[in-house]
Amino acid sequence: MPWKFQSDMARQCWDEARHVEIYAAVLDHVDGKIGEFAENVMLFEFAYSDDPAERVVGVNRCLEGLALGP
């Protein structure tokens, strides 16, 4: 594979690993454990927020969550 492709994929993997670390820290903060579903109404509130940035966060988190499916 071309070097640019390898570099782009390495960056994508690093980004996803960082997301896992952040979410694990959030779970620790709410006394959750990996494998539990510690969601609440926060995503619903973000999805229907008046702030466009919050709507993007809500949609992005929901779509990534669906991508993790069973």
DSSP string computed for 1-69: --HHHHHHHHHHHHHHHHHHHHHHHHHHHTT--BTB----THHHHHHT-SSHHHHHHHHHHHHHHHHT-
What average pLDDT does the segment 4-11 reach? 92
More confident residue, 22 or 66: 22
What pTM does this model have? Answer: 0.47
What average pLDDT does the segment 9-15 reach? 89
| Of the listed ranges 4-8, 17-21, 61-65, the one predicted with least confidence | 61-65
pLDDT in tens, 17-53: 888 888 788 878 878 777 776 566 666 777 778 888 8
